[in-house]
Structure 1
Amino acid sequence: MLTENPTAVPATLATRHLCTAEFEVGGGIIGIGASPFGDQRLGYISGGRFFGPRINGIILPGGGNWSRSGRLGDEASVGTFDARAVWQTGDGDLIYLSYTGRSIIPDDVRATFSDPAVPDADPSRYYLRIAPVFETASAKYGWLNGILAVGVGERTDFGVRHVIHEVM
């Protein structure tokens, strides 16, 4: 049996900025409803853009986020993501992106999300994190096939913005 060495220093986790992705969610969120497995919703990706030091382009329409939510205690909801999208780089290469993730949204913040007259809540008031992976046939962007990334998200008036970092 393996035991932990109490004097060992754990490895650090380093990241570097990969890009910022702005997903447009046209038509809003489609509420599928609460089943015994949670409240299922779908957000259709109608477009968007991504930009960073090594990769830039547009987010093609047709992807989506199938999210499921439940309760985390008495004052917040918790959610999971199952999202897929296709990105097209500025030079025409295609990148398939899929991600999972978690959200924790206090009830008072969620109430502001459903009222278009109320400005978006400060992102520091809720938790929205993703773990994207990439797949491409592009020789130029093939390095994406070997990385894991993490992102911090925020709700916007057009959908969602994720600041994505490559895990080194």
Structure 2
Amino acid sequence: MEKEKNLVLDSGLKTRHLCTAEFEVGGGLFTVGASPFGEQRVGYITGGRFFGPRLNGKILAGGGNWSRAGKMADGRHVGTFDARTMWQTDDGAMIYLIYQGRSALSDDVRADFANPASPDVDPARYYLRIAPVFETSDPAYDWLNAVLAIGVGERTDFGVRHQIYEVL
């Protein structure tokens, strides 16, 4: 059984590890390009899985992440996330998950991400955070409808992995 992880932030905000979510993003990113509103991209979620002390199952294909990219005055590349996906628990419950978030990375990290021959990039070198919310009609998971969560992400060879924490 996965050991429960708790984190106390300076503000006294408490969290409890909810699950790890591994999103598979097949086919890469579709890019609209740099419009007057920023560089718009879409990543298609092709599957995945989630697992934790109270929540386990698969991430269904068909969701996506609509992201924008830009550059800050200090030179870092920043991005926004607007993702929607469906999860199915091991016991058959359907959960709708949406999240928004932010990323920030330097030129060298961005170059490493773009290079297929580059080794895994240490997540300590970049910032990737999300704020997921859940919706379900299943009575066994009704508690999720009242949860606000935060997630810390890392890029993987299959897409992205998020450690998701329930804000208590």
* TM-score, L = length of structure 1: 0.92
Long gaps (5+) in structure 1 = 1-9
Q: Which of the pair has more CA radius of gyration?
A: 1
Greater shift in the superposed pair: 26-35 or 94-103: 26-35
User: How far 1:126 moved relative to its partner?
Assistant: 0.2
Any residues of structure 2 matched to 1:77-116 within 5 Å, and which?
A: 77-116=77-116
| Code of the aligned partner of 1:64 | G
User: How far 1:75 moved relative to its partner?
Assistant: 2.8
1:38-79 residue CA offsets vs partner (Å, 9 max, x unmatched): 100000000000000000000000000000010012531111
Where does residue 13 of structure 2 map in the other structure? 13
Where does residue 128 of structure 2 map in the other structure? 128
| Code of the aligned partner of 2:98 | S
| Code of the aligned partner of 1:153 | G
Long gaps (5+) in structure 2 = 1-9
User: How far 1:30 moved relative to its partner?
Assistant: 1.0
| Code of the aligned partner of 2:166 | E
| Code of the aligned partner of 1:81 | F
| Code of the aligned partner of 2:50 | F
| Code of the aligned partner of 2:67 | S
Where does residue 148 of structure 1 map in the other structure? 148
1:75-100 residue CA offsets vs partner (Å, 9 max, x unmatched): 31111100000000000110000000
C-alpha distance in 2, partners of 1:43/1:24?
10
User: How far 1:161 moved relative to its partner?
Assistant: 0.2
**Any runs of at least 4 consecutive aligned residues in structure 1 with deviations exceeding 4 A, and if so which?**
none
C-alpha distance in 2, partners of 1:61/1:72?
33
Give the CA RMSD over aligned residues: 1.1
User: How far 1:120 moved relative to its partner?
Assistant: 2.1
C-alpha distance in 1, partners of 2:47/2:92?
16
- Residue-pair matches, total: 159
Where does residue 160 of structure 1 map in the other structure? 160
Where does residue 56 of structure 2 map in the other structure? 56
User: How far 1:12 moved relative to its partner?
Assistant: 1.4
1:103-160 residue CA offsets vs partner (Å, 9 max, x unmatched): 0011100101111111121000000000000000000001000010000000000000
C-alpha distance in 2, partners of 1:81/1:116?
23
Where does residue 43 of structure 2 map in the other structure? 43
| Code of the aligned partner of 2:31 | G
| Code of the aligned partner of 1:75 | G
User: How far 1:11 moved relative to its partner?
Assistant: 5.7
Classify 1:76/1:11 alpha carbon distance in 2 versus 1 (closer, same or farther; 3 Å): closer
C-alpha distance in 1, partners of 2:94/2:40?
29
